[in-house]
Chains A and B, each alone.
Chain A
């Protein structure tokens, strides 16, 4: 048994890449060793800004010999086949064995791979690992062709066993493995040899390098907390920053500083973001005032003046940064107090997407949609519209220009300053949410209305211009938008048909095109020989020739439902006359892809919603077949209804009656469908108890009457559990019916009556969910 130490020493590795690099190094090397026939007891990977280290314990000294037998062609096979076999095995004819087989004599190749010593395997595996390492970004340097994250300088590859430590012979692009490394860039001098992992870690610590990032994180956190505590302050937790900072230092030295009074009035988010983004500072709060009043910076070195110069320098940089932030804040406040008009105008200049217009165009659409959604979520329509109009104003503020991650947060501050009520200001902050699966869902009605409108506009917009997510590509985060819609709708119990909203949103989009850009359509009435005449929204024929008008919403809706709509992509379109040749040339600048009709778009979008919903509900523990059974029902674009139904069905199928009733239903449905197919008629009417021959048959009539009397009102109340409970009561009568009677009776009247009775079972159950889709 031996231990292996590998160190890849380079120039500074980006902090964000170190965690994955550790995992990759461990898995690539250990997998390589195992594939080559070695085994090991344990492996641990470490990183500092300048090194990636792997320590493997309990490695076997050599791989076991491997014997492989391969069956070849018959000895009488054509020469070409035999030659092929020799090539593939690398043997000569006299090395092959001849063995008797059912079909005669067959060649066998016996390949024996001798065991290999660990060093040879390690050298091979490490060489491959270095050359194929999956850095997110890698580079070349100097004259070399090797790629690494930054220039690679030295390699330790040291195998130690009872006989001592031995360097594994290995050279990668001129870098020869050794047993030496170096310590801290400034606090240590020269290279030193190591004899084992323990020796290595110990000597590194003496050379001012803490090898383990977890240990560095703990030291930073502990040190920073102590500093804050001693000053009567409180450190603000930030796990992500802690990991990043631990990846920037080999010898962490936390230092506490104060924020100058002149900046303490800035919003805490601004202080925190500025310090974190620009300088990787931790924020420090005064527990008495709740304000952020200090910072902790983590130096990578100990200095003769105990960090005084470093702290002074950092403080100076912070002052410059916060002066900028204060300048932005004060300027922004001026605009906010004046009602944010300057920013709203400015949004006209910001392109959202070159096929979907400016941010201002988009905001107008969202505002109209938010207004429509408002009553569905219990929001005031005027407030929802107003909130949508100003929710993105902060995108033009200087502060958000500097710190994009403060969008929304600043929007709330500025909305309040401009005199808006909390409901509107909070919508500015919350309308982007939920951004991820763990992000909270807005619950204030105005926020919900704007958040929904925002996401639906994004979805319909990108659907209209055919920018849908494919495979792993989803550049406009449309899947996230869909998930946001689900969580907003379900989290707030919103009752609405998404199709209606999508259609409204789409008409809004077309309307904004028809006013802003040239919009045309192709209709049968305009077919003119083999030239398809595309009319723009701005042109209508009149006695004087062509006059410009735009479609009204009603016209748009009619067009969007019935014919293809084309959108001009060039603003240079101009109309010189009614002459048909002139028109033909004009229209070549149209988008060749027509915008989808409302119906097509909605269906396609609904399919996407349903696919995403299945993924979402599966994560919530609802089976896909149950979802399918509910998706097949009317009102399937009302997600709240859909989920209510699915949850009730899932619960029902977990009861004892559930699966049994399902069997009964399926049996009834199968017999009925077969009979219908055979007879070419639909048995859907007129089951009459007077033709019933047995008690069980009569009992089923009664049971169906009773169930129907409960289910129909329950369904109209959307009380699915009650409906399903009533359905469960059918289980015994259905079972009894099938045990006692034969449906396909000789008497045609009896048979027809029974099939019609089965139809009642199907009809009643199918009103609750499409049980044919449920498995089992």
Chain B
């Protein structure tokens, strides 16, 4: 077990320690994906790279958006925009649990003081056509991470299996830092000349986006964009693999997958606007899943996704 370090003092220190920890464990520390996603899993570094046999190890922060969770910045721990820390390693190493516990020690969660438990929680993403088995990790009764062994993504069996760790950064940090309201959490060091809290940075945007998500966004436009993204995804995948211009085989799996991400986020926005009925919901989820599957199929035909 790694030695527990003294407690971090800010949100960013927790992120930096995680980045550093996973870098020392051999992960490529990637940057967030530059699109609106609902969770770190949507980053192609997880979804697409968990397919095929090529080994992979990456860690990154992913800003995530869940439009329906907006509470105008008033709820102590619910946000429509928040951060996830994501680790994905293929094949899952045999000591992944120990590595994970090491990361907790790194941010000050000492098992000599805390009760850390792995409680059954099977993960499924109906929009990605993905599922896996694992746990939610509890620290003193609080869920601090999701720990999953991917079994299937985009309808493809994962061989080898990837291990995925997802930390809900705000919740975890609030606990480590002993803060009761997310907006009160120090973002940088509280002794900095210009000390900033989470609220200084995000209170206003939470208000603005909550209003936007629930009342502002134009639904006709969102519906149209959903259709456009769906059509574009299909169109990109329908291109023949051989590019006449370069003479190379270029399958546009990633650009097509971007459209899947878009469709998924548009669906989430429409859901927040309350214009998708219960019965339609399933149909929309099915449409996004169909795109995700096609992108997974396409990625498996590419260099990165092929079996070695």
Binding site for B on A (CB under 8 A): 11-12, 14-16, 49, 137-144, 149-151, 153, 185-186, 248-249, 279, 297, 299-301, 303-305, 309-310, 312-314, 316-318, 320, 323, 349-351, 354
Complex interface: chain B residues within 8 A of A186 (CB): 1, 111-112, 116
Chain B nearest CB from A717 CB (Å) reads: 53
Q: Is there an interface contact between B161 and A313, defined as CB atoms closer than 8 Å?
A: no
What are 30 inter-chain pairs, A to B, with CB distance below 8 A? Answer: A11-B97, A15-B120, A16-B120, A140-B158, A141-B91, A141-B161, A141-B163, A142-B94, A150-B149, A151-B92, A151-B94, A186-B111, A186-B112, A186-B116, A279-B141, A300-B115, A300-B117, A301-B115, A303-B114, A304-B112, A313-B114, A313-B139, A313-B141, A313-B175, A314-B141, A316-B140, A349-B277, A349-B278, A351-B278, A351-B279
Question: What residues on B are CB-neighbors of A16 within 8 Å?
Answer: 120
A151 to B132, CA, bound (A): 13
B140 touches A313 (CB 8 A): yes
The reply to whether B133 and A137 form a contact with Cβ atoms under 8 Å apart is yes
B142 touches A317 (CB 8 A): yes
- What distance in Å separates the Cβ of B120 from its nearest Cβ neighbour in chain A? 4
CB-contact partner of B142 in A185, A301, A313, under 8 A: A313
Interface centre among A141, A150, A318 (most CB of B within 10 A): A141
| Residues B115 and A354 in contact, CB atoms below 8 Å apart | no
Inter-subunit contact B94/A140 (CB<8 Å): no
Residues of A within 8 A of B114 (CB): 303, 309-310, 313
Q: A142-B161, A143-B160 are in contact. Are A310 and B115 (CB under 8 A)?
A: yes
- Contact status A139-B149, CB under 8 Å: yes
Contact of A12 among B77, B118, B163 (CB under 8 A): B118
Known contacts being A12-B135, A151-B149, is A309 close to B118, with CB within 8 Å? no
Residues of A within 8 A of B134 (CB): 150
**B140-A141 in contact (CB<8A):** no
Q: Is A248 in contact with B93, judged by CB distance below 8 angstroms?
A: no
Q: Decide if A153 touches B140 in the complex (CB within 8 Å).
A: no
Q: How far is the CA of A16 from the CA of B122 in the complex (A)?
A: 13
Interface membership of B50, Cβ < 8 A:
no
Q: Which 3 residue pairs across A and B have the least CB separation, nearest first?
A: A313-B140, A14-B120, A314-B141
In whole angstroms, what is the CA distance A354 to B281 when docked? 13
Indicate if the CB atoms of A141 and B113 lie closer than 8 Å: no
Q: A14-B120, A303-B113, A350-B278 are in contact. List 9 more A-B contacts (CB 8 A).
A: A49-B118, A139-B161, A140-B159, A142-B93, A186-B111, A310-B115, A314-B142, A317-B140, A320-B77
For residue B1, which residues in chain A have a CB less than 8 angstroms away from its CB? 186
Give the shortest distance, in Å, between B279 (CB) and chain A (any CB): 5
**Chain A residues within 8 Å of B122, by CB:** 137
Separation of A12 and B116 alpha carbons in the complex (Å): 12
B118/A11 in contact, CB under 8 A: yes
Q: Could you say which of B91, B116, B117 contacts A142, with CB atoms under 8 Å apart?
A: B91
From residue A198, how far is it (CB to closest CB) to chain B in Å? 29
B121 to chain A, nearest CB (A): 9
B:83-137 near A, CB below 8 Å: 91-94, 97, 111-120, 122, 132-135
List of A residues within 8 angstroms of B159 by Cβ: 140
Residues of B near A301 (CB, < 8 A) are: 111, 115
Distance in angstroms between the alpha carbons of A249 and B76 in the assembled complex: 30
A297 touches B161 (CB 8 A): no
Task: Identify the closest chain A residue to B97 (Cβ).
Answer: A11
Residue of A310, A318, A349 ringed by the most chain B CB atoms within 10 A: A310
Instruction: Report the minimum CB–CB distance from B247 to chain A (whole Å).
Output: 36
Q: Please report whether the interface of chain A is mostly helix, strand, loop or mixed according to DSSP.
A: loop
Selected from B77, B142, B151, B279, the residue in CB contact (under 8 A) with A354 is B279
Give, as a whole number of angstroms, the nearest-CB distance from B11 to chain A: 18
Measured CB to CB, the closest approach of chain B to A459, in angstroms, equals: 23
Shortest B185–chain A CB gap in Å is 14
Residues of B contacting A143 in the complex (Cβ-Cβ under 8 angstroms): 91, 160-161
Which of B91, B113, B158, B160 has most A Cβ within 10 Å? B113
Q: Which residue of B lies closest to A153 (CB)?
A: B94
* Minimum distance in angstroms from B152 CB to a CB of chain A: 10
Q: Give Cα distance in the complex from A323 to B181, angstroms.
A: 13
- Collect the chain B residues with CB atoms within 8 Å of residue A350's CB: 278
A558, B163: Cα distance in complex, Å: 64
Q: How far is the CA of A317 from the CA of B112 in the complex (A)?
A: 20
Residues of B within 8 A of A11 (CB): 97, 118
Interface residues of B (CB under 8 A from A): 1, 76-77, 91-94, 97, 111-120, 122, 132-135, 139-142, 149, 151, 158-161, 163, 175, 180, 277-279
The reply to whether B135 and A310 contact each other, CB–CB distance below 8 Å, is: no
Q: For the complex, give the distance between the alpha carbons of A320 and B91 in Å.
A: 37
CA distance A249 to B119 in the complex (A): 10
CA distance A476 to B135 in the complex (A): 30
Interchain CB contact (< 8 A) of A140 among B118, B139, B151, B277: B151
Task: List the A side residues contacting B93 at CB < 8 Å.
Answer: 142
Closest to A318 in B: B141
Say yes or no: B120 contacts A320, CB within 8 Å.
Answer: no
List chain A residues, Cβ under 8 A from B175. Answer: 313, 316
Q: In the complex the two chains form, what is the Cα distance from A142 to B278 in whole Å? A: 38
- Of all chain A residues, the one with the shortest Cβ separation from B279 is A351
A317 to B117, CA, bound (A): 15
A-chain residues with CB within 8 Å of residue B111 when the two chains form the complex: 185-186, 301
**Chain A residues within an 8 Å CB radius of B117:** 12, 248-249, 300
- Give bound CA distance, A248 to B138, whole Å: 11
Chain A nearest CB: distance from B131 CB in Å?
A: 10
Q: How many Å lie between the Cα of A323 and that of B74 in the bound state?
A: 13
Bound CA–CA A349/B140 (angstroms): 39
A40, B141: Cα distance in complex, Å: 44
Distance A140 CA – B131 CA, assembled complex (angstroms): 12
In the bound complex, how far is the Cα of B159 from the Cα of A350, in angstroms? Answer: 40
B residues near A303, Cβ cutoff 8 Å: 112-115
Which residue of chain A has the shortest Cβ distance to B151 in the bound complex?
A139
Please state if B92 and A142 are interface contacts (CB–CB under 8 Å). yes
| Closest Cβ–Cβ distance, residue B221 to chain A (whole Å) | 24
A319 to B86, CA, bound (A): 28
- Distance in Å: Cβ of B223 to nearest Cβ of chain A: 18
Taking CB atoms, residues of chain B closer than 8 Å to A249 are 117
Q: Which residues of B contact A349 (CB under 8 A)?
A: 277-278
A423 to B96, CA, bound (A): 57
Q: In this complex, what residue of B is CB-closest to A150? A: B133
Query: A139 vs B159: C-alpha distance in the bound complex, in angstroms?
Result: 11
Find out whether the CB atom of A309 lies under 8 angstroms from the CB atom of B92: no
A186 to B77 CA separation, bound complex (whole angstroms): 30
Residues of B near A144 (CB, < 8 A) are: 160
Across-interface contacts of A142 in B (CB, < 8 A)? 91-94, 160-161
Residues of A close to B180: CB separation below 8 A = 316
Which residue in chain B gives the minimum CB-CB distance to A49? Answer: B118
Q: In the bound complex, how far is the Cα of B180 from the Cα of A517, in angstroms?
A: 51
Give chain A residues whose Cβ lies under 8 Å from the Cβ of B151: 139-140
Give A314 to B139 CA distance when docked, in angstroms: 9
- For the complex, give the distance between the alpha carbons of A297 and B119 in Å: 15
**Alpha-carbon separation in the docked complex, A6 to B40 (Å):** 41
In angstroms, Cα B76 to Cα A225, docked, is 34
A323 to B158, CA, bound (A): 40
In the assembled complex, the Cα of A318 lies from the Cα of B141 at a distance in Å of 9
Min distance, Cβ A158 to any Cβ of chain B, angstroms: 23
Contact A299 B133 (CB under 8 A): no
Chain A nearest Cβ from B6, distance in angstroms: 15
Is the CB–CB distance between B92 and A141 below 8 Å? Answer: yes
Contacts of B158 in A (CB 8 A): 140
A313-B175, A349-B278 known; A248 vs B112 contact (CB < 8 Å) = no
Q: Across the interface, which residues of B come within 8 angstroms of A299, CB to CB?
A: 115
Contact check, A309 vs B113: say whether CB atoms are below 8 A apart.
yes
Measured between alpha carbons, how far is A51 from B134 in the docked complex, in Å? 16
- Verify A314–B140 contact, CB threshold 8 A: yes
B113 touching A305, Cβ below 8 Å:
yes
CB-nearest residue of chain B to A281:
B141
Whether A320 contacts B141 by the Cβ 8 Å rule is no
Assess whether A139 is in contact with B118, with CB atoms less than 8 Å apart. Answer: no
Q: Which residues of A contact B161 (CB under 8 A)?
A: 139-143
User: CA–CA, A310 to B141, complex, Å?
Assistant: 8
B110 to chain A, nearest CB (A): 9
